[in-house]
Structure 1
Amino acid sequence: MANSVAARPAGYTGIEVHGQTIRVDFMYKGVRHRHTLGVEPTRANIKHAAGLRSAALFALKSDNYVEADYFPNSRPAETAPQTSRRLDDLCDRYKPLKAVDITRETQSRYENALNVCLETIGRDRLIDTLLPVDIQQLRVDLIATRAVSTVNHYLATFSGFLYWCENNGYCKELGKHCTRFTKSNKDPDPLSFEEYQALIEKGCLHPIDKAAVAVAVYTGLRPGELLALAVEDVAEDFSKIIVRRSITQSGTFKVPKTNKERTVLLFPPAQEALKALIADAEQRESADLQVWLNRHESRTDRARVLLSPKTQARRKVVNDYFVPSAWNSKWANLVRRSGIRSRPPYQTRHTYACWNLTARGNLAFIANQMGHSDYSMLVKVYGRWIDSESPSELERIWAGMQNMAQIAPNLPQNGT
């Protein structure tokens, strides 16, 4: 086997004489670029190679680099260029690959989480030098100044990046060390009926606010679903609504959380409230709402959204639609005026669930109304509102059994 030829400097940075030819060598963002030109190492050729190297680096920094334009006849070098293993560079490769499967709003949250983790652990760290202790230290540093829910989101996002690195051979078994912190489950804090009345009578000074709160409490809609509800979603006889969309903090309409429509049957207070909201909304023109089904597809709904900041606006220029943060501010003012205990607007959804359960509503029916796939979530979240040992429940079940016995005489009766 022939002996390898040692390269020697040619008098210019990154230019080497390698045997009977010239080799160009440079690093950019942790990636080595090495090209053998296949020309004799004359003084003129060496000077030309130095200029070519400078031009290639400038193109890389300008994001206009096409390797074949600068080194069309380059022979593969003895050591092939390797992909950078710096965390920052790997993350730049990962982000656009992940982005195609998530919404733009989620992408922004993911990128923020990744940036925080990279800043904490060190952007210039090489992935194959990381140890489990580095991930454990990341957990310690994050939880020192942040809420558990925030840290768990960061760790979940960063673990996805690390698992991608593992699957592509950049590292081994790091993702599993991004263990989330245990988070205490806070019980729902629903409104009592007395608090609801105080909110309506004292907190809501405008009839539209009263109607909005009534719809929220008596339908159990998520805030984003409430704010995206339109005239066209309400049945003509006011017996039901169809939840077709939600609105995000950025003012983007999307499909509901479960990615499918659902029908909510209406209690009388919700029916009356919707009549007031529709009478107000019908004074506005219909608009084309772009509703995103996923990252790449959308539909257009021609509709009049029920709640608009313009109804009570004092300023001339206001948004057409409420976003969750604006609704949070309005809700906080309503609660403050009413004098009841402060709680976030999502508690209207919890109020709907707890009131239904306290009234001994059917679990499957309530779960369907709220958009859950089954009633396991109700049992998990609202367990203490489900009265499972009530004597009246036993009597109700026994009455049902007796009914069945009349239809099927073979069933046991009177304890026999």
Structure 2
Amino acid sequence: MEDKLMAKKQDRYLQKRDNTFYFRKKHNGKVFKRSLNTTDKRTARDLRNFYLRNLVEYGQLDAPEKVDYDVITFGEVAKEWASIHKKEVRYSTWPDYVSSMNGHILPNFKDMPIAEITYGDVLKFRSGLKVGAKRANNILVPMKSVFDYADREGIIQDNVMRKIKRLSEEAPEIHPFSYDEVNRLLDAVHPWYQPYLIVAFFTGMRAGEQNGLCWSDFLEDMQPEPRIFIRKTYVYKKDGIPKTKKSKRYIKCLPQVLEALSEQRKLTGKNKHIFLTIDGRRMTPDHIRKEVWIPALEKAGIEYRPPIQTRHTFATMMLSAGEDIGWVQNMLGHSSLQMIFQRYYAWVPEKTRSDGHAFMKYVGCLSVTQKQDAGSAGEIKVKTDEGCTNLVPLDKYRHKKRG
């Protein structure tokens, strides 16, 4: 009896039909069967054991074919990387990755075996890019990510991207507006968009942050003073979270901002979002630049500067007035004081405050007036009285004060 049980156990998962042995086993709810093409029981048992090991290790009867990694192209790895990585980055970041890959990287490396791409190949590629250092560094970011993925998957032995050092980037050009230029610009802009530009100039908000503001974010009754809560952005026509943890913040409303928002409420107070286009659509950077910014600059006779200079103008105004650097950092939503020093060092004075009053005292000759126009929602201008000093870098500012 015991001999029969032992023989049955040894021949488990084996069947014999027409003098030929077959393997048959149910695994993970699926039946696997295979003709062993042998009449010898010992050989059948060896084949049975081989298939059992494959089922346990691979979930199939046959071991997967060994891949020749030397012929896997960069394009194949990039395609697999994209299907996974797209879900792991901010939606506002992914379009730039796609632009870098489709416009620069894939045309050069798509059909090259990824294991054969050398350090020199990457350097030669980067040197041929007709872009600045910052853009060149950004273009290589998704390429580095593809190589990191290939490295973790064991597709490559040498991750050449780890040897590539970032190019030194020039600090962004700080070309703030003077008070006179701010006034001329506000005089020239369409009345509908005057509150928008005033808020931009006197809060230093990023465009995405300002475009994402809802009236519920304007905490008008907050004590001891009204504040704006920056908690989302509107980028690539989608609402999202702020750029960094530090970007989520409360910012103080200077008198210019409060009056601008009062006028804005007459325009969009019945809507969810504070700032909308004149035809009721969500505000976007492209709309502001093409339809509002450029026409106003041309009308005011001011040389073109990108809209980001409203943010730089706010920073330089506050620092020149002697405001506390930490307060300016919080207003801008920068992650570190180092960035403030690096970008605005020439405007940082020796003694500072932290509440906006130094700025209001410094520009005490400025007044905010409203012109009610029949048929329009009102025009807001920042008036500069005779004798007021235009904004200048700190070294010139100190010299002027001493004189």
Q: Same fold, TM exceeding 0.5?
A: yes
1:17-48 CA-partner distances (Å, limit 9, x unpaired): xxxxxxxxxxxxxxxxxxxx8687xxxxxxxx
- For residues 228 and 383 of structure 1, what CA distance do their matches in structure 2 show? 30
Q: Which residue of 1 aligns with 2:319?
A: 357
Secondary structure of 1:104 counterpart = coil
1:195 shift after superposition: 0.6
Q: Which residue of 2 aligns with 1:217?
A: 201
Structure with higher RCO (Cα < 8 A, 6+ apart): 2
2:308 counterpart of 1:322: no
- For residues 373 and 185 of structure 1, what CA distance do their matches in structure 2 show? 16
- For residues 73 and 266 of structure 1, what CA distance do their matches in structure 2 show? 66
Q: Which residue of 2 aligns with 1:196?
A: 182
Q: Which residue of 2 aligns with 1:230?
A: 214
1:181 shift after superposition: 2.7
Q: Percent identity?
A: 20
Relative distance call for 1:107 and 1:187 in structure 2 (3 A) is: closer
| 1:87 partner letter | F
- Which of the numbers 291, 295, 302 marks the counterpart of 1:333? 295
Tell me the matched-pair count.
292
Relative distance call for 1:75 and 1:226 in structure 2 (3 A) is: closer
For structure 2, list consecutive stretches of 5 or more residues without a partner in the other structure.
1-33, 38-54, 353-403
2:217 counterpart of 1:255: no
Q: Which residue of 1 aligns with 2:136?
A: 151
- Which of the numbers 175, 179, 204 marks the counterpart of 2:161? 175
Q: Which residue of 2 aligns with 1:31?
A: none
8 Å Cα contact 2:297/2:304 also seen in 1:
yes
- For residues 118 and 213 of structure 1, what CA distance do their matches in structure 2 show? 38
Q: Which residue of 1 aligns with 2:149?
A: 164
1:233 shift after superposition: 1.4
Q: Which TM-score applies when normalising by structure 1?
A: 0.64
Secondary structure of 1:264 counterpart = strand
Relative distance call for 1:342 and 1:108 in structure 2 (3 A) is: closer
8 Å Cα contact 1:217/1:351 also seen in 2:
yes
8 Å Cα contact 1:242/1:264 also seen in 2:
yes
- For residues 233 and 76 of structure 1, what CA distance do their matches in structure 2 show? 59
2:301 counterpart of 1:279: no
| 1:228 partner letter | G
Relative distance call for 1:340 and 1:80 in structure 2 (3 A) is: closer
Q: Which residue of 2 aligns with 1:186?
A: 172
- Which of the numbers 329, 335, 342 marks the counterpart of 1:373? 335
For structure 1, list consecutive stretches of 5 or more residues without a partner in the other structure.
1-36, 41-67, 285-303, 314-318, 391-416
1:261 shift after superposition: 2.8
8 Å Cα contact 1:156/1:180 also seen in 2:
no
Across the aligned residues of Structure 1 and Structure 2, the Cα RMSD in angstroms comes to 2.6
- For residues 103 and 389 of structure 1, what CA distance do their matches in structure 2 show? 40
1:293-331 CA-partner distances (Å, limit 9, x unpaired): xxxxxxxxxxx111211x3x3xxxxx6201111111121
1:349-382 CA-partner distances (Å, limit 9, x unpaired): 1111100000000111111121123422211110
- Which of the numbers 253, 270, 288 marks the counterpart of 1:266? 253
8 Å Cα contact 1:95/1:111 also seen in 2:
no
Secondary structure of 2:312 counterpart = helix
Q: Which residue of 2 aligns with 1:130?
A: 117
- For residues 103 and 164 of structure 2, what CA distance do their matches in structure 1 show? 14
| 1:323 partner letter | T
Q: Which TM-score applies when normalising by structure 2?
A: 0.66
